[in-house]
Structure 1
């Protein structure tokens, strides 16, 4: 303690540092500032050169993810699942059976459709036979016209004779050569002949009307079969379409893979009743994946479709480089299609750099050698100097 007190100045004031003592000697400050300025200038020049000759030749982002056109497998007929042949993560080939639906109802409908088809064919044959019968009936009706005309001629001849007999007797009645009874009989014969002639005329008109009606019925029946055959008749074609629908529904009880890929999101179990159009599982086409790279809007000024790209995945690391090309741009930014879009018209607006998804198509051979999965992170770099 005594030594510390002795070291302090007697007047109680602290010692002031000597201005001549400095970390950097005044003589060396100038050259050092010049050196710093030169280094800063060199850094600026190097950055400028990098931006002009290297940085401006490409754009990159780590906001990129693997995507693909996932195939949703939906049954096209309803029924109970009786067998499931696949599970999640299982690779499948196009046309491979995925699951089966109980086809009892579909087989019954198919049997009914087959019976309706046979019935339609028989009905068509019946229509043809009916056409023939109506044609024969129309021909017979026309022959009746000739018989009616003969009756008319006979009745007219009888009427002419009865009229002559009556006129001759009426002329002799005043002379007393013809009795009253004979004149009355002649008058009655004339009236009867007139009635018979009128009846014959009515019969002729009826025969003609019947012939016309029979011919019209024949034409109406022929209208249903004219220009057709047993395979092109409307009722047969309708039965064929119903039969084809029934056969298709039966075929759809066996659900097959629409594409090559890996099974995902399987939601069906044996015994479960599935409905028409309800998704049962999904298939990811691992050989046809692409990358959606979300570039900043100020990076896209020189990006064009067809430009080449290099991509790396966190899954494989930097040792595996994927090659692809730009195939298109999204129709809007992610913010524009978000569930709750930003309300930029409010007074609290702050500008945020937007990102636009750019689709990059991957090389199928590289995907085959190094498979990817949907949702994996990627780093994408687009060569702005390349052309399609």
Structure 2
């Protein structure tokens, strides 16, 4: 009957439709699987940046503090002023010591010039004395002069020769004195330079553009060298993403990255800068020693450094913000 043949006519159509749907699902599934295999992501990641400690290089008392927490500053901006009085006095003392050292050096040089002049004079007199002794030596052989006259000129020549040697030694000593005085001048100049540096260290300035945080400097506070007064967060950011070791097989430097910032609800573009040198646990103060105890295999995480691409507005980013990077492997 006609009614009994209707389902049979639709049976091939149903089979064809099922095959088409199966093919569509297979293609969609293949593309979906290919998409999942084309990237690696993690939620164990954050924005990082340089947190520069601002500290004093000298002892001193704080005269003024010109910044507060969360304040933006420029490189070279004055942050803290220490009392400069003691260091100004030390600078004047160093200048006086340098002037005295230079005066002593000039005096030593003049003494050396005088000693050289004395040596030259002695050498001239010695030349005359030696010539006289030589002439009288010839005359005594010819018995023209007496022995006493010859002895007188011979003794004078010997005395003059000793005088030359004595004054040459004095000139050498004067020359060594000049070297000593020159060293004292250099030492005094170094002391002056250090005093000038110490005076400049009373002005604590920002080393770079950034934002001030963790300020502990207070007016009238006595500070010591290397004592932290505040921190400066530079406007230079990157992402540290801790991927599982099983996710790193296909990662390479330069691969593109999509960085989702939770706090801002938007994505940024970046790229992998470099791969880690070791797992994070090995950088701990007390790294694990698996050979000394019971071993439990744990999937390790390694920090991958990701840079933001140029041309993006990063002004709202702050170190410590949670992000979700997605590294595109192909």
Residue 213 (str. 1) matches residue 166 (str. 2): yes
How far apart are 1:293 and its partner, in Å? 0.6
**In structure 2, what is the equivalent of residue 50 of structure 1?**
32
RMSD over aligned CA atoms reads 3.3
How far apart are 1:40 and its partner, in Å? 11
For 1:49 and 1:153, locate their aligned partners in 2 and report how far apart those are by CA, in whole Å.
Answer: 119
**In structure 2, what is the equivalent of residue 288 of structure 1?**
236
Judge which range, 288-297 or 134-143, deviates more.
134-143
Post-superposition CA distance 1:254-274 (Å, at most 9, x none)? 000001111112222111121
Q: Which residue among 300, 308, 325 is the counterpart of 1:354? A: 300
Partner of 2:228, secondary structure, is coil
**In structure 2, what is the equivalent of residue 62 of structure 1?**
43
**In structure 2, what is the equivalent of residue 85 of structure 1?**
66
Post-superposition CA distance 1:154-203 (Å, at most 9, x none)? 97799789x789xxxxxxxxxxxxxxxxxxxxxxxxxxx54554343222
Residue 378 (str. 1) matches residue 304 (str. 2): no
Q: Which residue among 119, 134, 149 is the counterpart of 1:138? A: 119
**In structure 2, what is the equivalent of residue 15 of structure 1?**
none
Judge which range, 150-159 or 131-140, deviates more.
150-159
How far apart are 1:240 and its partner, in Å? 2.4
For 2:28 and 2:206, locate their aligned partners in 1 and report how far apart those are by CA, in whole Å.
Answer: 57
1:69-148 aligned within 5 A: 69-146=50-127, 148=129
For 1:367 and 1:276, locate their aligned partners in 2 and report how far apart those are by CA, in whole Å.
Answer: 38
**In structure 1, what is the equivalent of residue 200 of structure 2?**
251
More strand by share: 2
8 Å Cα contact 1:288-1:364 kept in structure 2: no
8 Å Cα contact 1:71-1:259 kept in structure 2: no
Aligned CA distance change for structure 1 residues 348 and 137 (closer, same or farther; 3 Å)? closer
Residue 325 (str. 1) matches residue 278 (str. 2): no
Partner of 1:294, secondary structure, is strand
Judge which range, 87-96 or 151-160, deviates more.
151-160
The structure number with the bigger radius of gyration is 1
For 2:285 and 2:101, locate their aligned partners in 1 and report how far apart those are by CA, in whole Å.
Answer: 56
8 Å Cα contact 1:292-1:358 kept in structure 2: yes
Tell me the TM-score normalised to structure 2 length: 0.82
Q: Which residue among 251, 254, 259 is the counterpart of 1:306? A: 254
For 2:187 and 2:286, locate their aligned partners in 1 and report how far apart those are by CA, in whole Å.
Answer: 51
**In structure 1, what is the equivalent of residue 155 of structure 2?**
202
For 2:230 and 2:22, locate their aligned partners in 1 and report how far apart those are by CA, in whole Å.
Answer: 61
Structure 1: gaps spanning 5 or more residues: 1-38, 166-192
**In structure 1, what is the equivalent of residue 6 of structure 2?**
none
Aligned length: 310
For 2:91 and 2:117, locate their aligned partners in 1 and report how far apart those are by CA, in whole Å.
Answer: 40
**In structure 2, what is the equivalent of residue 266 of structure 1?**
215
Aligned CA distance change for structure 1 residues 303 and 203 (closer, same or farther; 3 Å)? same
Aligned CA distance change for structure 1 residues 262 and 117 (closer, same or farther; 3 Å)? same
Structure 2: gaps spanning 5 or more residues: 1-20
Aligned CA distance change for structure 1 residues 352 and 160 (closer, same or farther; 3 Å)? closer
